[in-house]
Amino acid sequence: MSETHKSVFTENGIPFFAGKKVWITGHRGMLGSALVRRFEGENANLLLTSRQELDLCDQRAVLEWVDKNRPELIFHIGAKVGGIHANATLPADFLYDNLMVQSNVMEAAYRSGVKKMVFVASNCTYPTKAEQPIKEDALMTGPLDDNIRAYAISKIAGIEMCRAYNKQHGCNFISIIPPNLYGPGDNYHPQHSHVVAGILRRTHEAKVAGKSEFVVWGDGTPRREILHVDDLADAMKCLMAAPVTHDLFNVGTGHDLAIKDLATLIAEVVGFEGSIVYDTSKPNGTMAKLLDSSRIRALGWEPKISERAGLETSYRDFLKLLETPQSGRL
């Protein structure tokens, strides 16, 4: 795991986050928990509440909670997420839950006078045939991947809501679009996981079962840009603290891997020495999603964690989880 990152940003000579009330929605998820870790030593007043304590789909509850706790800054991460299979089979759930959650959080943030909010969107909001690397102005310039259309539309709505609140109410809401995330806290569920976690689990299971091969969906040719969750957490802190002139930022590494190469790297990390078989009856998904992250790099942020080192943290996390399983992640 990379070392705890302390903010280099100051406000009137004082560390930017010191003493501020910071609400992190979805703090128990992979990205939320990474952000909490990255606040160690910041002396910020973190506002953290579980789903059992606050249902973000309940408008009245959200309004009352925000009015009572008065966060100054919000990292809005809480969302319904999942891989291709989950998105393809549960489109109504993905659309309804995400629209409800982000609507409630943004309205409450506006009403309570929150100083700034960072909203986490997704790279699936970009058209399937967007020019590579994808710039932020590619949003809504073409058709979306049918397998994740509902989720993508919910996140596009979130980006446009941020812009609408900025325009109508003078809010300071910005959105970020990361690539495929991975790292500690990931979901390794066999049907609901994303690409890195899904391949990692199948590789490990093949290894411990003594199998000679394991299966990867698609033909292996699509390319994916992956970003360690700790790097994204640092980027979010950078965007929260920095004065910005844009309302949408890509946050990526600047390079991608073919699924075949990613699967091979994961097999090396896991120690699997068999073959990788590609199931061409399953969907490839979008063929490429490389982001142009020049906007945020101009602010001084850059990723620190290499793919191999990052995948090693993921595998350690997975092995630890096998010892003490948590509901929903396996």
pLDDT tens digits for range 6-26: 556 777 778 999 999 999 999
Cβ atoms of 299 and 239 closer than 8 Å: yes
Q: Show which residues are catalytic.
A: 151
Written as six digits, the tokens of 85 are 């299979």
10-184+226-254+289-305, superfamily in CATH? NAD(P)-binding Rossmann-like Domain (3.40.50.720)
Written as six digits, the tokens of 303 are 């990723």
Is position 194 annotated in a ligand binding site? yes
| Burial call 82-114: b when 16+ CB within 10 Å, e when fewer | bbbbbbbebbeebbebbbbbbbbbbbbbbebeb
Calculate helix-pair angle for 149-169, 91-112, nearest 10 degrees: 10
Is position 26 annotated in a ligand binding site? yes
**DSSP-assigned beta bridge partners for residue 261:** none
For the stretch 156-205, pLDDT in tens is 999 999 999 999 999 999 999 999 999 999 999 887 788 899 999 999 99
Is position 224 annotated in a ligand binding site? yes
Q: Which amino acid is at 313?
A: T
Cβ atoms of 173 and 106 closer than 8 Å: yes
Q: What pLDDT is stored for residue 273 in this prediction? A: 95
Q: What is the 3-state secondary structure (H, E, C) of 123-145?
A: HHHCCCCCCCCECHHHCCCCCCC
> Which range has the worst mean pLDDT, 23-27, 85-89, 214-218?
85-89
Is position 60 annotated in a ligand binding site? no
Is position 202 annotated in a ligand binding site? yes
| More confident of the two residues 193 and 238 | 238
* Residue 97 to residues 10, 17, 31, 90, 164, Cα–Cα distance (Å): 36, 30, 18, 11, 20
Concatenate the DSSP letters of all residues of 217-246 into one string: ES-S--EE-EEEHHHHHHHHHHHHHS--S-
Give the mean model confidence (pLDDT) for residues 283-309.
93
pTM attached to this predicted model:
0.93
- For the chain, give the mean pLDDT: 93
For residues 203 and 201, what is the distance between their CA atoms, to the nearest angstrom? 5
Going by C-alpha positions, the residue among 112, 29, 41 that lies closest to residue 74 is 112
Residue 1 reports pLDDT greater than 70: no
Residue 230 reports pLDDT greater than 90: yes
Q: What pLDDT is stored for residue 3 in this prediction? A: 41
3-state secondary structure of 270: helix
Q: What pLDDT is stored for residue 2 in this prediction? A: 38
Going by C-alpha positions, the residue among 270, 256, 146 that lies closest to residue 198 is 270
Sign of torsion over alpha carbons 116, 120, 123, 127? negative
Is position 322 annotated in a ligand binding site? no
Q: What pLDDT is stored for residue 251 in this prediction? A: 98
Q: What pLDDT is stored for residue 284 in this prediction? A: 84
**DSSP-assigned beta bridge partners for residue 278:** 216
Could you report how far apart the first and last alpha carbons of the chain are, in Å?
A: 22
Q: What pLDDT is stored for residue 232 in this prediction? A: 98
For the stretch 241-289, pLDDT in tens is 999 999 999 999 999 999 999 999 999 999 999 999 999 998 887 788 9
Residue 4 reports pLDDT greater than 70: no
3-state secondary structure of 278: strand
Give the mean model confidence (pLDDT) for residues 110-128.
96
Is position 31 annotated in a ligand binding site? yes
Give the mean model confidence (pLDDT) for residues 84-104.
92
Q: What percent of the chain has pLDDT over 70?
A: 97
Q: What kind and span of H or E run contains 23?
A: strand 21-25
Is position 217 annotated in a ligand binding site? yes
For the stretch 60-78, pLDDT in tens is 999 999 999 999 999 999 9
